Chain A
Amino acid sequence: MLHALLLVSALFLSVGIPARAAEIELPAGNGRDLVYGKCRTCHDLQYLVDSAGIDEATWDGLLDDMEGYGCEFTADQRERLLAYLATYLGPTPPPAEVSAATAAAEVDGETLFRDQCASCHQEDGRGVEGDFPPLDGNPDLFTDRMFPVYVLLFGLEGEIDVLGKTYTGIMPSFGHLSDVEIATLVRYIRNAWSNRARYTPALELSGDDVRAAREKPLNPTAVHVYRAQQVATSRP
């Protein structure tokens, strides 16, 4: 009951809060998720959308340029990025129906984390002070069973305090990932690094839990309010 009330008040608060981030959707296709994971750290996806139509050689050169600017990818990731960009944001993108029909392969939490999260939170989960909060040793992952799921599904925006440091960033939504992928990711970050010690079976999540959470009418600022409530109740 208290839960429901808090969520409702969170929604009221978020009404009329203007968008400070552009949640830009790219055409569905193989490799899109990797683009979402790698290309939103330093700028938003409008650079990509506005460049749509350039040829493969230019995308290839652009990836070299991005590497120069500090974008990190393995050779395998680079290949997947280029294949997506040159196809779906190339001169002759396939029609929507074709591009929508791609099945997500079964992947493990570590690979998912490297593809989707490491560009901001870093491979070691330590984040970047002032910009991307650490996930390693972060008590917020354990205050509430569903909180990290909401962050991934809807994003997070608003000032937060993590391990004594302030963050005023914008975590984009990862709602494009499948239910199972999100459950796998949340299990992974709660078990990785020094977090393993805090993991309890009560935190276990399934794809069904994620599917149910998708129905919640949340947005990044509402998740921020939800977080504040959880932090307040867990650290009296």
Chain B
Amino acid sequence: MSQNRPRFGMTRREFGALGATAGAIVALDWSLPRLARAAGDVKASDLIPGKVPEMIVHNAKLGVMETPLELLRQHRVTPKEIMFNRLHFPISGERSWTASLEPVERPDWTITFDGLVSRIRRVTVADLEKMGTTEVETVVQCAGNGRAFFAAKAKCPGSQWQHGGMANVTFEGVPLKQLIEELNPGLGAQVRYITVNGADDPPTPKGADFEKSYRIDDPALDHAILAIRMNGEPIPACHGGPVRLLIPGFYGNMNVKYVTRVLFAAAQSPTVFQSRAYRVPLQPVEPGQMKISDFTITNSEPTYAFRIKSVIFAPLASDSVKAGKVTISGVAFNDGQAPITLVEVSTDGGRSWRAAAIEKPKSPFAWYHWSLEAELTAGTHTLVAKATDAWGRSQPLDGTVMWNPKGYEWNGADHVTVTVT
């Protein structure tokens, strides 16, 4: 583990600055007395050995953590040691095995294809290994990434993710549609949804199980794979190994980990994780208009496809910037359905804009790198970045217009305030 530190760690100064920004967000509008020994004490590296200690821990019991942008920006393909992590159930007790960056060696791991089918089918990881696989470089992102920024309008409950709940990695696996065709289970005429379940179970008997449903005719499923490798090696346990469903362009909760079952059904799963959680209202709402528990399958939809987004990687508030020519750079991505054609950057808080140079990625689902050289004078500047794609989809200048009760799918134009000396 210690070998990884110099490669992935950051300098003391960067780390200090980071703490200051994270603290500032929490202390924004209230102060709680004596929140002794909160998360700051628990190191990601102690929760999941191999993760770097600089990760920002959001929930120790679940191993939830995000990557500081100071680390994320150092790699084209995000290494597992700094990749954000999100699990729904405790990483202790029955599920202690998920608290690991090591691969899960389980060739006998079995996935059952059943439901409204004429023939129940089973495949093992060993079977998948023998089939033709494809590899895709793709952004993975938590649906709650950026939730902290909604607090400018009204705070949303839950982990206050900043930008680090995302990564750009490669996943390799067997295309789902092709696999279903080969298995030929004989789908019933009423099949409208696929529901995917994993081996992670809640810790109490009454606990809700986690599973996700997708419309079977959703074109995004054409790119879905049952992934067995991430960044060229078997998927680490905490990231969903031995088998994870990966739907490029979909929010992270849709990429079910530890897949054990693919169910063909007429309706979506009744689990609260599908019917009430991870949803955004169909109509825009203002704070107070809709109760957090009022989500139904008719007034809202699941956090499926990524909204278009750009994030400034440099300079960050923690960087020291010298007056003169400064390279402003970052990444942009969307759901992969249409190429990103424009990234506009402002150095005066959004009054004037210039187009940045965009680097086309290998895969439509990976993040696009962009950069722009600008002349910055001494003083304080607010940098803003905004992406647009070929379908004209773009980011709202004020991201809080997309406020929603659970704080999902933040995609406001990114704002970074830097002090130039």
Contacts and interface: CB of A to CB of B under 8 A. Distances in A.
Contacts of A44: 59-62
B38 A46 contact: yes
Interface string B80-95: 0000000001101110
A228 interface: no
A217 B33 CA distance: 25
Given A22-B38, A57-B288, A70-B208, A65 B61 contact: no
A168 B92 contact: yes
A49 B94 contact: no
A54 B155 contact: yes
Contacts of B158: 47, 50-51
Given A42-B90, A42-B204, A170-B92, A24 B292 contact: no
Contact of B41 (A22, A93, A96): A22
Report, nearest first, the 3 A-B pairs whose CB atoms are least far apart. A18-B46, A96-B33, A131-B93
Interface of B: 26, 29-30, 32-39, 41-43, 45-47, 57-62, 89-90, 92-94, 96, 155-160, 202-208, 272, 276-277, 288, 291-294, 405
Interface string A180-200: 000000000000000000000
Contacts of B93: 130-132, 167-169
Contacts of A24: 35-39
Contacts of A49: 32, 35, 38
A128 B60 contact: no
Contact of A19 (B29, B46, B159, B276): B46
B272 A68 contact: yes
Given A93-B30, A131-B94, 20 more contacts: A18-B45, A19-B46, A20-B92, A22-B57, A24-B35, A24-B38, A24-B39, A43-B59, A43-B62, A43-B90, A46-B57, A46-B59, A47-B59, A49-B32, A53-B155, A57-B291, A62-B157, A62-B293, A72-B206, A169-B90
Contact of A64 (B30, B33, B293): B293
Interface string A30-63: 0000000000111110110111111101101110
B39 A27 contact: no
B159 A53 contact: no
A39 B331 CA distance: 38
B204 A119 contact: yes
B24 to A, nearest CB: 15
B205 A128 contact: yes
A27 B34 contact: yes
Contacts of B35: 24-26, 49
A178 B47 CA distance: 31
Interface string A60-102: 1110110011101000000000000000010101011001000
A58 B287 CA distance: 10
A80 to B, nearest CB: 19
Contacts of B156: 54
A203 interface: no
Contacts of B159: 46-47, 50
B135 to A, nearest CB: 34
Contacts of A169: 90, 92-93
B238 to A, nearest CB: 14
Nearest to A100: B33
B34 A69 contact: no
A167 B92 CA distance: 9
A58 B38 contact: no
B42 A19 contact: yes
B37 A58 contact: no
B58 A21 contact: no
Contacts of A209: none
A23 interface: yes
B214 to A, nearest CB: 21
B29 A53 contact: yes
B178 to A, nearest CB: 35
A139 B90 CA distance: 27
B117 to A, nearest CB: 29
A93 B203 contact: no
A40 B59 CA distance: 11
Contact of A70 (B33, B94, B204, B293): B204
Contact of A65 (B29, B58, B207, B292): B292
Given A21-B61, A52-B30, A167-B93, A42 B157 contact: no
Given A43-B61, A68-B276, A20 B42 contact: yes
Contacts of B26: 50
Contacts of B43: 18-19
A25 B94 contact: no
Nearest to B97: A168
Given A130-B94, A131-B94, A42 B46 contact: no
A20 B41 CA distance: 9
Nearest to A159: B96
A17 to B, nearest CB: 9
Nearest to A171: B92
Contacts of A23: 37
Interface string A213-226: 00000000000000
Nearest to A170: B92
B58 A70 contact: no
B38 A65 contact: no
A65 B276 contact: yes
Nearest to B202: A70
A164 to B, nearest CB: 16
